[in-house]
């Protein structure tokens, strides 16, 4: 962590910031020759200093001027994470251009809707395939990010002009419009100002242990507010380093090259990482497998505060190897976007890798509630960061107030007034409660209720999360609207199932029909049902061989299940479950 002097210096220029672009300028000037970004390239990665980043951004700003962009204009960025994505965004913030990020996984109709609804004049795309998704739109200039980068390399910065533009940008100006990935209907454009982001950076550093000595691993999409705020704006503005992975295929080597200390993550990534480790262990010799299981058991006991007399030994034999896979310097994952399964937190905690669960929404400028390192209660979403007020309404809905909250929804005054009441409280739509410790727990979505035919209301998410706590269940979707009971679709974790049942079919399509596999899942469902009221119990379910993805339409870009889409895709299976 940063020393006292480093934090004092950072807090001084953070307090002076007049806009997000100004904060970026102050940070680059302050840190100068220190490494700002670790960028993949031919044959590996290269280090780029804060001074170099600022000069590159200045060149990009001139190119944006040549494209005809002025203060207040909208510019789409449509591509995977990259150094060029970051430079384009910082250039826009420096001259008052409003960036509109689009997930690269979105199909043409959704991407075109966002570009048109925002009124974008220019779109910068990561690859040709993304250009094709937008090229039919009238009145929008479309360029590859690589084109902008090439032009910028031979462009002379115009420092005087850039400073004049920067001086015109105020805290109340629009910085970005981020479209929420609603599970129904068209996405809504969340209006976030320069003040939202500057305030977020100022208060994260007050309440969370981030410093100039940290290195962030950039993995989540920059089009998501979580990575944009906490993995892009935050580290650069406090003097930390951001490292980009080269590709999914090189992920393991990228960790070793970048040697990160912090990473923003979602539970699905953590579960997949855990799965890769377990798959690797399954291929080792019986003795090594036994040592790993002992190390995991001892580590979990220690993590829970229980007696673990052999932990000192197993941590050297097993824990050090797990931490080495993360580069050897890792401090913690900040997990958000969905509920963190307890067994995942316990798995990483067993090897002294902290997972700090948090909570936030696009409408609150990302995570404004996190578990502190010194009091990490992994079954909660932590405590509000400075400047965030949280309370519950009479029906249990979580309300949030403070400068974290958006200005409103773009061109949707009625939706904005419905979301933010007259007293400034943002209605999240999440149901939760504050524990005596000050930590908060999220229990359900307000509108995501199953209304059974007998009139009973069932909150599906807590039950789905309980089911997914099983190592043998990868995904569960509960249904039951209009039915007399709760039914559901269950996707086994086929790798874990094969570990438990070595003779089970390797083909997933055959495995879901196998009696031993069915029996294993049945025991897990029975265990969860034993914790539920009778009307909540999963009475009928069907195992399916499927993978839910953003591209397939089953998940939102923030990795929430679209229950409506699941109902449509698996209508035959659901109809079978509803038959008497």
What distance in Å separates the CA atoms of residue 475 and residue 464, rounded to the nearest whole number?
Answer: 8
What distance in Å separates the CA atoms of residue 17 and residue 22, rounded to the nearest whole number?
Answer: 6
CA distance to 459, 475, 514, per residue, from 470 (Å): 19, 10, 19
Concatenating the DSSP letter of every residue in 92-143 gives: HHHHTPEEEEE-TTS-HHHHHHHHHHHT-SEEEESSHHHHHHHTT-TT-EEE
Main-chain dihedrals φ then ψ at residue 262, nearest 5 degrees: -140, 145
Tokens 């890769």 locate to 276
> What is the reported pTM?
0.83
Q: Does domain 4-265 have CATH number 1.20.1250.20?
A: no
**Sequential pLDDT tens for the chain (580 residues):** 444 455 557 778 888 999 999 999 999 999 999 999 999 987 778 999 999 999 999 999 999 999 999 999 999 999 999 999 999 999 999 999 999 999 998 888 889 999 999 999 999 999 999 999 998 899 999 999 999 999 999 999 999 999 999 999 999 999 999 998 654 567 899 999 999 999 999 999 988 888 899 999 999 999 999 999 999 999 999 999 999 998 888 899 999 999 999 999 988 889 889 988 988 898 899 999 999 999 999 999 999 999 999 999 999 999 999 999 999 999 999 999 888 888 899 999 999 999 999 999 999 999 999 999 999 999 999 999 999 999 999 989 999 999 999 999 999 999 999 999 999 999 998 889 999 999 999 987 777 777 776 666 787 888 888 898 898 999 999 988 777 789 999 999 998 898 889 899 989 999 999 999 999 999 999 999 988 878 788 999 999 998 888 777 788 776 777 777 888 888 888 888 876 5
Class of CATH domain 450-578:
alpha beta
Class of CATH domain 267-445:
alpha beta
CA dihedral angle for residue 404, residue 405, residue 407, residue 412, rounded to 10 degrees? 150
So what's the pLDDT on residue 578?
A: 73
Give the pairing type, strands 35-41 and 44-49.
antiparallel
Beta bridge partners of 409: 190
Which residue, among 442, 138, 560, has the nearest Cα to 123 in the 3D structure?
138
Main-chain dihedrals φ then ψ at residue 375, nearest 5 degrees: -150, 60
> Where in the chain is CATH 3.40.50.12780?
4-265, 267-445
């Amino acid at each position: 962590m940063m020393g006292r002097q480093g934090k004092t210096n950072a807090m001084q220029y953070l307090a002076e910031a007049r806009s997000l672009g100004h904060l970026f300028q102050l940070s680059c000037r302050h840190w100068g020759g220190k490494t700002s970004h670790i960028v993949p390239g031919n044959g590996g990665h290269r280090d780029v200093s804060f001074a170099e980043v600022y000069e590159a951004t200045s060149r990009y700003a001139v190119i944006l001027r040549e494209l005809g962009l002025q203060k207040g204009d909208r510019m789409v960025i449509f591509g995977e994470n990259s150094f060029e994505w970051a430079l384009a965004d910082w250039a826009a913030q420096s001259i008052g251009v409003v960036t509109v990020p689009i997930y690269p996984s979105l199909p043409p109709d959704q991407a075109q809707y966002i570009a048109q609804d925002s009124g974008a004049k220019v779109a910068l795309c990561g690859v040709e395939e993304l250009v094709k998704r937008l090229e039919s739109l009238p009145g929008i200039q479309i360029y590859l990010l690589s084109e902008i980068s090439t032009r910028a390399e031979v462009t002379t910065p115009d420092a005087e002009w850039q400073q004049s533009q920067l001086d015109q940008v105020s805290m109340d100006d629009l910085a970005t419009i981020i479209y929420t990935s609603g599970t129904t209907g068209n996405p809504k454009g969340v209006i976030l100002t320069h003040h939202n982001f500057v305030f977020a950076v100022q208060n994260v550093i007050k309440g969370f242990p981030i410093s100039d000595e940290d290195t962030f691993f950039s993995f989540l999409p920059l089009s998501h507010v979580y990575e944009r705020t906490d993995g892009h704006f935050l580290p650069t503005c406090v003097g930390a380093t951001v490292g980009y992975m080269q590709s999914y295929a090189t992920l393991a080597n990228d960790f070793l090259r970048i040697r990160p200390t912090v990473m923003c993550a979602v539970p699905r990534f953590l579960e997949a990482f855990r799965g890769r480790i377990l798959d690797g262990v399954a291929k080792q010799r019986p003795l090594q497998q036994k040592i790993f299981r002992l190390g995991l058991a001892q580590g979990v006991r220690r993590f829970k505060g229980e007696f673990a007399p052999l932990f000192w030994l197993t941590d050297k034999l097993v824990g050090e190897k797990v931490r080495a896979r993360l580069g050897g310097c890792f401090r913690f994952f900040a997990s958000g976007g969905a509920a963190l399964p307890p067994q995942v937190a316990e798995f990483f905690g067993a090897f002294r890798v902290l997972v700090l669960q948090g909570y936030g929404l696009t409408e609150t400028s990302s995570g404004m509630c996190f578990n502190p390192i010194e009091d990490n209660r992994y079954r909660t979403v932590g405590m509000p960061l400075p400047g965030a007020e949280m309370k519950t309404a009479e029906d249990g809905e979580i309300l949030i107030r403070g400068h974290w909250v958006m200005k409103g929804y773009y061109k949707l005054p009625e939706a904005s007034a419905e979301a933010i009441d007259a007293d400034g409280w943002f209605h999240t739509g999440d149901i939760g409660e504050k524990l005596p410790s000050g930590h908060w727990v999220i229990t359900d979505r307000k509108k995501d209720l199953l209304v059974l035919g007998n009139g009973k209301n069932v909150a599906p998410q807590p039950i789905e999360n309980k089911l997914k706590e099983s190592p043998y269940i990868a995904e569960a979707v509960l249904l039951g609207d209009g039915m007399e009971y709760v039914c559901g679709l269950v996707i086994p974790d086929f790798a874990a199932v094969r570990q438990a049942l070595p003779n089970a079919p390797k083909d997933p399509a055959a495995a879901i029909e196998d009696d031993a596999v069915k029996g294993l899942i049945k025991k897990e469902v029975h265990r969860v049902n034993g914790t539920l009221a009778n009307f909540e119990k999963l009475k009928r379910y069907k195992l399916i061989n499927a993978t839910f993805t953003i591209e397939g339409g089953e998940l939102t870009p923030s990795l929430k299940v679209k229950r409506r889409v699941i109902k449509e895709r698996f209508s035959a299976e659901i109809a079978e479950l509803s038959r008497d």
